[in-house]
Amino acid sequence: MSDDGFIREVNEEIRQDQMKALWWRYGPAAIVIAVLAVLGTAVYVGYDYWQQTRANRSGDAFSQALELANQGRSDEALAALEELQKTGHGAYPLLARMRAATVLADKGDYEGAVTAFDEVANDRSVPEAIRDVARMRAGLILVDHGSYEDVSSRVEELAVDTNPMRHTAREALGLAAWKAGRLKDAMNLFEQIENDAEAPANARQRAGTMTELIAGSTSSS
Protein backbone atom coordinates (compact mmCIF):
# COMPACT_ATOMS: atom_id res chain seq x y z
CA MET A 1 0.00 0.00 0.00
CA SER A 2 1.36 3.44 -0.93
CA ASP A 3 1.78 6.19 1.61
CA ASP A 4 -1.06 8.15 -0.04
CA GLY A 5 -3.40 5.18 0.20
CA PHE A 6 -2.49 4.63 3.83
CA ILE A 7 -3.14 8.31 4.63
CA ARG A 8 -6.53 8.23 2.89
CA GLU A 9 -7.50 5.13 4.83
CA VAL A 10 -6.49 6.73 8.12
CA ASN A 11 -8.42 9.88 7.25
CA GLU A 12 -11.49 7.79 6.43
CA GLU A 13 -11.24 6.00 9.77
CA ILE A 14 -10.95 9.32 11.56
CA ARG A 15 -14.04 10.69 9.74
CA GLN A 16 -16.02 7.58 10.63
CA ASP A 17 -14.98 7.87 14.27
CA GLN A 18 -15.99 11.54 14.25
CA MET A 19 -19.40 10.75 12.71
CA LYS A 20 -20.00 8.03 15.30
CA ALA A 21 -19.07 10.43 18.08
CA LEU A 22 -21.36 13.12 16.68
CA TRP A 23 -24.20 10.63 16.33
CA TRP A 24 -23.90 9.37 19.89
CA ARG A 25 -23.71 12.92 21.12
CA TYR A 26 -26.36 14.63 18.98
CA GLY A 27 -28.30 11.82 17.27
CA PRO A 28 -31.02 11.39 19.94
CA ALA A 29 -31.56 15.15 20.08
CA ALA A 30 -31.84 15.29 16.30
CA ILE A 31 -34.49 12.58 16.37
CA VAL A 32 -36.45 14.46 19.03
CA ILE A 33 -36.24 17.69 17.01
CA ALA A 34 -37.41 15.91 13.87
CA VAL A 35 -40.33 14.30 15.71
CA LEU A 36 -41.30 17.63 17.27
CA ALA A 37 -41.15 19.31 13.86
CA VAL A 38 -43.47 16.69 12.38
CA LEU A 39 -45.85 16.94 15.33
CA GLY A 40 -45.77 20.74 15.19
CA THR A 41 -46.64 20.71 11.51
CA ALA A 42 -49.48 18.26 12.12
CA VAL A 43 -50.85 20.38 14.96
CA TYR A 44 -50.66 23.55 12.86
CA VAL A 45 -52.39 21.94 9.88
CA GLY A 46 -55.06 20.48 12.15
CA TYR A 47 -55.66 23.77 13.93
CA ASP A 48 -55.81 25.66 10.64
CA TYR A 49 -58.36 23.17 9.30
CA TRP A 50 -60.41 23.49 12.50
CA GLN A 51 -60.35 27.29 12.26
CA GLN A 52 -61.41 27.24 8.61
CA THR A 53 -64.20 24.78 9.38
CA ARG A 54 -65.53 27.01 12.16
CA ALA A 55 -65.32 30.09 9.93
CA ASN A 56 -67.14 28.28 7.10
CA ARG A 57 -69.89 27.18 9.45
CA SER A 58 -70.29 30.71 10.79
CA GLY A 59 -70.40 32.06 7.25
CA ASP A 60 -73.10 29.59 6.29
CA ALA A 61 -75.11 30.47 9.40
CA PHE A 62 -74.80 34.19 8.65
CA SER A 63 -75.95 33.68 5.06
CA GLN A 64 -78.96 31.72 6.26
CA ALA A 65 -79.85 34.48 8.73
CA LEU A 66 -79.63 37.07 5.94
CA GLU A 67 -81.91 34.95 3.79
CA LEU A 68 -84.47 34.78 6.60
CA ALA A 69 -84.30 38.56 6.98
CA ASN A 70 -84.71 39.08 3.23
CA GLN A 71 -87.79 36.86 3.32
CA GLY A 72 -89.33 39.05 6.02
CA ARG A 73 -89.00 36.35 8.68
CA SER A 74 -87.61 38.84 11.15
CA ASP A 75 -88.08 36.88 14.37
CA GLU A 76 -86.39 33.80 12.92
CA ALA A 77 -83.58 35.95 11.55
CA LEU A 78 -83.07 37.60 14.93
CA ALA A 79 -82.96 34.22 16.67
CA ALA A 80 -80.37 32.95 14.17
CA LEU A 81 -78.28 36.11 14.54
CA GLU A 82 -78.44 35.93 18.33
CA GLU A 83 -77.17 32.35 18.22
CA LEU A 84 -74.38 33.41 15.88
CA GLN A 85 -73.35 36.12 18.32
CA LYS A 86 -72.86 33.43 20.96
CA THR A 87 -71.29 30.66 18.92
CA GLY A 88 -69.91 32.33 15.78
CA HIS A 89 -66.26 32.50 14.83
CA GLY A 90 -64.05 35.32 13.61
CA ALA A 91 -65.83 38.52 12.59
CA TYR A 92 -69.25 36.88 12.32
CA PRO A 93 -70.45 37.57 15.89
CA LEU A 94 -69.88 41.29 15.31
CA LEU A 95 -71.51 41.16 11.88
CA ALA A 96 -74.44 39.41 13.51
CA ARG A 97 -74.77 42.21 16.08
CA MET A 98 -74.84 44.86 13.37
CA ARG A 99 -77.24 42.94 11.17
CA ALA A 100 -79.58 42.19 14.10
CA ALA A 101 -79.84 45.92 14.79
CA THR A 102 -80.77 46.50 11.15
CA VAL A 103 -83.43 43.77 11.31
CA LEU A 104 -84.93 45.45 14.39
CA ALA A 105 -85.14 48.73 12.49
CA ASP A 106 -86.68 47.01 9.46
CA LYS A 107 -89.43 45.50 11.63
CA GLY A 108 -90.19 48.90 13.20
CA ASP A 109 -88.45 48.44 16.55
CA TYR A 110 -86.50 51.69 16.25
CA GLU A 111 -85.77 51.98 19.97
CA GLY A 112 -84.39 48.45 20.03
CA ALA A 113 -82.32 49.12 16.91
CA VAL A 114 -80.81 52.31 18.34
CA THR A 115 -80.01 50.50 21.58
CA ALA A 116 -78.30 47.70 19.67
CA PHE A 117 -76.22 50.10 17.58
CA ASP A 118 -75.34 52.11 20.70
CA GLU A 119 -74.08 48.96 22.38
CA VAL A 120 -71.72 48.31 19.48
CA ALA A 121 -70.63 51.97 19.39
CA ASN A 122 -69.77 51.88 23.10
CA ASP A 123 -67.97 48.52 22.99
CA ARG A 124 -64.24 49.27 23.14
CA SER A 125 -63.38 45.76 21.98
CA VAL A 126 -64.90 46.61 18.58
CA PRO A 127 -62.67 48.29 15.95
CA GLU A 128 -63.12 52.06 15.89
CA ALA A 129 -64.26 52.10 12.25
CA ILE A 130 -67.13 49.72 13.05
CA ARG A 131 -68.03 51.73 16.13
CA ASP A 132 -68.29 54.84 13.94
CA VAL A 133 -70.59 53.00 11.53
CA ALA A 134 -72.79 51.96 14.46
CA ARG A 135 -72.96 55.59 15.66
CA MET A 136 -73.91 56.69 12.18
CA ARG A 137 -76.60 54.04 11.81
CA ALA A 138 -78.15 55.00 15.15
CA GLY A 139 -78.07 58.67 14.17
CA LEU A 140 -79.78 58.04 10.85
CA ILE A 141 -82.61 56.16 12.56
CA LEU A 142 -83.02 59.00 15.04
CA VAL A 143 -83.39 61.60 12.27
CA ASP A 144 -86.94 60.28 11.85
CA HIS A 145 -87.49 58.83 15.31
CA GLY A 146 -85.70 61.14 17.72
CA SER A 147 -84.68 64.70 18.45
CA TYR A 148 -81.88 66.84 17.10
CA GLU A 149 -80.03 66.26 20.38
CA ASP A 150 -80.42 62.50 19.95
CA VAL A 151 -78.85 62.67 16.49
CA SER A 152 -76.14 65.10 17.53
CA SER A 153 -75.01 62.97 20.47
CA ARG A 154 -74.25 60.13 18.05
CA VAL A 155 -72.89 61.75 14.90
CA GLU A 156 -71.54 65.20 15.69
CA GLU A 157 -68.07 63.82 16.34
CA LEU A 158 -68.20 62.21 12.87
CA ALA A 159 -68.92 65.54 11.15
CA VAL A 160 -65.36 66.89 11.49
CA ASP A 161 -63.33 67.64 8.35
CA THR A 162 -60.98 64.67 8.80
CA ASN A 163 -63.66 61.99 9.13
CA PRO A 164 -64.49 60.03 5.95
CA MET A 165 -68.15 59.81 7.03
CA ARG A 166 -68.49 63.57 7.55
CA HIS A 167 -70.81 64.02 4.56
CA THR A 168 -73.36 61.52 5.86
CA ALA A 169 -73.00 62.85 9.40
CA ARG A 170 -73.57 66.44 8.26
CA GLU A 171 -76.56 65.38 6.20
CA ALA A 172 -78.10 63.60 9.19
CA LEU A 173 -77.45 66.63 11.41
CA GLY A 174 -78.80 68.97 8.75
CA LEU A 175 -82.04 67.02 8.38
CA ALA A 176 -82.47 66.80 12.15
CA ALA A 177 -81.83 70.54 12.51
CA TRP A 178 -84.31 71.30 9.71
CA LYS A 179 -86.98 69.16 11.37
CA ALA A 180 -86.32 70.91 14.69
CA GLY A 181 -86.72 74.36 13.10
CA ARG A 182 -83.03 75.19 13.45
CA LEU A 183 -82.86 76.52 9.93
CA LYS A 184 -79.61 78.45 10.27
CA ASP A 185 -77.79 75.38 11.60
CA ALA A 186 -79.33 73.25 8.86
CA MET A 187 -78.27 75.72 6.16
CA ASN A 188 -74.68 75.79 7.44
CA LEU A 189 -74.47 72.00 7.46
CA PHE A 190 -75.86 71.56 3.95
CA GLU A 191 -73.57 74.31 2.63
CA GLN A 192 -70.60 72.44 4.10
CA ILE A 193 -71.60 69.42 2.06
CA GLU A 194 -72.12 71.48 -1.10
CA ASN A 195 -68.71 73.12 -0.75
CA ASP A 196 -66.82 69.91 0.00
CA ALA A 197 -65.18 68.78 -3.23
CA GLU A 198 -64.72 65.29 -1.79
CA ALA A 199 -68.43 64.84 -1.07
CA PRO A 200 -70.21 62.32 -3.33
CA ALA A 201 -72.13 63.95 -6.18
CA ASN A 202 -75.50 62.66 -4.96
CA ALA A 203 -74.86 64.03 -1.45
CA ARG A 204 -73.96 67.44 -2.88
CA GLN A 205 -77.07 67.37 -5.04
CA ARG A 206 -79.31 66.60 -2.06
CA ALA A 207 -77.59 69.31 -0.04
CA GLY A 208 -78.22 71.82 -2.84
CA THR A 209 -81.90 70.90 -2.88
CA MET A 210 -82.11 71.41 0.88
CA THR A 211 -80.35 74.78 0.80
CA GLU A 212 -82.79 75.97 -1.87
CA LEU A 213 -85.72 74.67 0.17
CA ILE A 214 -84.50 76.36 3.35
CA ALA A 215 -83.70 79.61 1.54
CA GLY A 216 -87.16 79.60 0.01
CA SER A 217 -88.87 78.96 3.33
CA THR A 218 -86.97 81.73 5.11
CA SER A 219 -87.54 84.31 2.38
CA SER A 220 -91.27 83.67 2.34
CA SER A 221 -91.67 83.90 6.08
Provide mean pLDDT across the span 74-103. 91
Tell me the per-residue pLDDT of 190-209, one tens digit each, with 9 for 90 and over.
999 999 999 999 999 999 99
Provide mean pLDDT across the span 112-117. 96
Tell me the pLDDT of the chain averaged across its residues: 82
65 against 39, higher pLDDT: 65
Q: What is the dihedral of CA 4, 5, 6, 7, to 10 degrees?
A: 50
pLDDT at 216: 81
Least confident of 12-16, 63-67, 101-105, 125-129: 12-16
In degrees and rounded to multiples of 5, residue 69 shows phi and psi of -65, -40
Provide mean pLDDT across the span 107-121. 96
